[in-house]
Each structure stands twice: as C-alpha cells, then as structure tokens.
Structure 1
Amino acid sequence: MREQLIKAMQQNQILDIMYIAKDQSITKRRIKLIKLSGEHVQAYCFSRHAKRNFIVDNILAVHPVNKKVRGLEA
C-alpha cells in the first residue's frame, strides 16, 4: 500500500481510498496526497474540503481517479 501511495504522490494523482475511520466505520474518500511521513499520510480530502491525516494501515484500497472524470467530480 505504501508503495502505491508514494507513486501516486510522485505522479500528483488524485485517489479514491477506502478507509477505516476512528469509529471503525468504513468511508470512501477522494484525496490528493500532500505528505507521507512514517505511518501517516497528510492529504487534502475533497469529501471534507480540508486537509486530513490518515493512518497508512487503515487504508484498505487505493484507486487512481481517471483524469477525464477528475474535472467533473473532484
């Protein structure tokens, strides 16, 4: 998972992720990575319209957003 995140950050990609939140609920987020340090990711979350911190181990799935769709949904 970490390698996918590093590659996405290097390529300046927007990602859809499935994430386990603190309350153990599973959420889908659209993010743009800002910084990866240790086991934490700082990203802009389009769902919350704010910078958020994510724990790498809580990210269940990563999917790059198609550039053609990006302009419509991001």
Structure 2
Amino acid sequence: MRQFVQFSLDEQKPIEIIYLSKKGVISQRKILVKQFVNKQVIAYCFKRHQIRSFTLEQILSARRLFSKIA
C-alpha cells in the first residue's frame, strides 16, 4: 500500500483504496494524498469532499486510477 500512497503524494494523482474503519466498516474511497507521516495518510477524500485521515494498516487495498482515453 505504501507505494500507492507515495505515488499519489509525489504525482498528486488520486488513488482508489478499500478502507477498514476503526468501527469495522469497509468502504471504497477515491483519495488524493496530501501528507504521509508515521503511517498516517492525510488525504482529500472525494467521497466525503473533505480532508480525512487514514491509518496505513487499515487500508486493505489500493490501486492507481487511469484516465480513460477518448
């Protein structure tokens, strides 16, 4: 997961994650990483339309998003 988070931070491109909340709820999110410090990911969440904090260990999967070619 770390490489996808770092990619989003370095390239300022969104990634898609599957996240397990502390309450045990799984969600799919599109995020744009703003900071990555001590296993804490600070990112803009497109689902909630605000800056959110994610714990790296609770990111179950991540992938790059690719633009559609017209």
**TM-score between both structures, scaled by the size of structure 2:** 0.88
1-structure distance, mates of 2:8, 2:49: 20
Computed over aligned residues only, the root mean square deviation of the Cα atoms, in angstroms, reads 1.4
Q: Which runs of 5+ in 1 are unaligned?
A: 70-74
Partner of 1:72: none
Q: How many matched pairs?
A: 69
1:42 equivalent in alignment to 2:35: no
Q: What percentage of residue pairs aligned between the two structures are identical? A: 29
Once the two structures are superposed, what CA deviation does each residue of 1:4-60 show, in whole Å capped at 9, x if it has no partner? Answer: 211221111111100001211111011000000011000000000110000000001
TM-score (norm 1): 0.84
Mapping for residues 1-74 of structure 1, pairs under 5 Å: 1-68=1-68
Higher helix share: 1
Aligned AA for 1:27? S
Of 14-23 and 3-12, more deviation after overlay is shown by 3-12
Unaligned runs of 5+ in 2: none
